[in-house]
């Protein structure tokens, strides 16, 4: 997407692959800082600290982490060490395992001499494919926004989204934001309710930054406001992302998504999940019991960072010293609360049959 008029992907290589460039998302929207990842450890820590975040971008960063590791050790043992270091960075987004297994299968049984070039080519393919997948999700999701506009017969289509499933979570376009960007391109009047998304504020900081840069009307709201808006007819549809969706359509996404889905169901608001095929976990069925939910440090909840009036970034405590804090980073929305899954191949029901019809090659394997 564009920042200050210049087009960027969220990750790219420089210096013949010795450097992997990305944005430090922890500093947005206050500072646009490019970061150079130069080693396996740099890539691993970028994922663990959420310098980069979002399922597809986590996968791409891990893929380039393997490339950086192979510069030092292209052996099978070197590949395994890279895999083991990266797989334990964050447990929930399935793109991490998907990307690492794809890199490993592309490299094993290859002569050591050609492994480095092949690794970078595979990581670049993962990124290029993600751009195409997200653009296709945008095209299919556009039809949903267009239909909402026709139903309304006037005024902006009000879309509610949670967290950041945008360009910053992927390589370009985003997943949940891609239909919004395509609607803007088609001249459809769209407005976005942006859930702030405590505690890391991916919505207030990242989605609001993205939409502002693209000139899309939006309003940042507290996480607890969405249900009220739906009760008063102020939300035409919800579109959220996912970090892992099971083969029967249970959706794991940022904490708070489940509560939004409940409110949508109670108020008859369509609730869509933008779902790249790279985020489907075909090995599991029951999301509540089988998806690992990341628990992050409580300090992410008890502290808030922001910019002071004179431009300094400050962090303050918002709870009494010593108050324990629980920080579950994701929850699971059962498929029954999902109106439809917006995949790169089209919109399908959140059912095993729906996903099998769209991805028959996966369902049969």
Ligand X SMILES: CSC[C@H]1O[C@H](OP(=O)(O)O)[C@H](O)[C@@H]1O
96/104 Cα distance (integer angstroms)? 12
Are 215 and 221 within 8 A, CB to CB?
A: no
How many residues touch ligand X under the rule CB under 6 A: the total is 15
Are 44 and 84 a contacting pair, CB within 8 Å? no
**Site stretch for ligand X (CB under 6 A), options 2-10, 103-111, 162-170, 320-328:** 162-170
Copy the structure tokens of residue 348: 């399908």
Q: Name the segment binding ligand X (CB under 6 A); options: 54-62, 122-130, 144-152, 225-233.
A: 54-62
Compute the distance between CA of residue 354 and CA of residue 345 in angstroms, rounded to an integer: 12
CA distance linking residue 189 with residue 184, whole number of Å: 7
Give the nearest distance from C-beta 243 to ligand X in angstroms.
Answer: 5
Distance CA 303, CA 314 (A): 10
The answer to whether 63 touches 128, Cβ cutoff 8 Å, is no
Among 243, 250, 281, 331, the one annotated catalytic: 243
Q: Binding to ligand X by residue 89, rule CB under 6 A?
A: no
Q: Which of 243, 250, 281, 344 touches ligand X (CB under 6 A)? A: 243
Q: Which stretch binds ligand X (CB under 6 A): 73-81, 107-115, 164-172, 352-360?
A: 164-172
Q: Name the DSSP class of 207.
A: I
d(CA 174, CA 183): 14
The piece of 111-119, 168-176, 259-267, 340-348 that touches ligand X (CB under 6 A) is: 168-176
The torsion defined by the Cα of 220, 225, 226 and 227, in degrees rounded to 10, comes to: -170
53 is in an annotated binding site: yes
Strands 237-240 and 157-161: parallel
Contact characters 109-148, ligand X, x per CB under 6 A: ----------------------------------------
Among 22, 61, 253, 277, binds ligand X (CB under 6 A): 253
Which CB, 302 or 333, lies closer to ligand X? 333
Give residues with Cβ within 8 angstroms of 127, minimum separation 6.
9, 11, 60, 63, 171
172 is catalytic: no
Spatial separation of the C-alpha atoms in residues 24 and 214, rounded to whole Å = 19
Q: Please list every residue from 190 through 209 that binds ligand X, using CB under 6 A.
A: 202
- Binders of ligand X among residues 276 to 335 (CB under 6 A) are 329
- The residue (of 142 and 169) whose beta carbon lies closer to ligand X is 169
Give the annotated binding-site residues: 53-55, 90, 202, 253-254
Residue ranges that bind ligand X, judged by CB under 6 A: 53-56, 163, 165, 169-170, 175, 202, 241, 243, 253-254, 329
Q: Which residues carry out catalysis? A: 243
Give the annotated binding-site residues for substrate: 53-55, 90, 202, 253-254
């Amino acid at each position: 997407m564009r920042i200050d008029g210049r087009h960027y992907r969220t990750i790219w290589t420089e210096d013949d692959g010795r450097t992997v460039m990305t944005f430090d998302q922890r500093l947005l929207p206050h500072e646009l800082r490019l970061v150079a990842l130069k080693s396996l450890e740099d890539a691993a820590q970028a994922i663990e600290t959420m310098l980069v975040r979002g399922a597809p971008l986590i996968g791409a960063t891990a893929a380039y982490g393997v490339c950086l590791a192979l510069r030092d050790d292209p052996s099978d043992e070197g590949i395994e060490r890279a895999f083991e270091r990266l797989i334990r960075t964050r447990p929930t987004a399935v793109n991490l395992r998907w990307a690492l297994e794809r890199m490993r299968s592309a490299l094993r049984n290859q002569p050591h001499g050609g492994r480095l070039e092949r690794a970078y080519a595979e990581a670049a393919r993962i990124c290029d494919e993600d751009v195409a997948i997200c653009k296709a999700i945008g095209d299919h999701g556009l039809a949903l926004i267009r239909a909402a506009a026709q139903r309304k017969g006037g005024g902006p289509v009000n879309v509610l989204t949670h967290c950041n499933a945008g360009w910053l979570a992927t390589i370009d376009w985003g997943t949940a934001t891609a239909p919004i960007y395509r609607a803007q391109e088609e001249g459809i009047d769209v407005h976005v309710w942006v859930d702030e998304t405590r505690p890391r504020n991916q919505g207030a900081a990242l989605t609001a930054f993205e939409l502002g840069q693209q000139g899309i009307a939006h309003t940042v709201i507290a996480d607890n406001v969405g249900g009220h808006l739906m009760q008063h007819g102020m939300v035409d549809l919800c579109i959220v992302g996912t970090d892992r969706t099971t083969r029967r359509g249970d959706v794991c996404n940022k904490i708070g998504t489940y509560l939004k889905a409940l409110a949508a169901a109670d108020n008859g608001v369509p609730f869509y999940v933008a779902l790249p095929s790279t985020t489907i976990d075909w090995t599991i069925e029951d999301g509540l019991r089988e998806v690992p939910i990341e628990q992050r440090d409580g300090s992410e909840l008890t502290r808030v960072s922001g910019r002071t009036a004179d431009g300094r970034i400050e962090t303050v405590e918002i709870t009494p010293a010593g108050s324990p804090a629980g920080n579950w980073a994701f929850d699971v929305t059962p498929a029954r609360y999902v109106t439809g899954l917006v995949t790169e191949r089209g919109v399908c029901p959140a059912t095993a049959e729906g996903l099998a019809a769209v991805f028959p090659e996966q369902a049969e394997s």
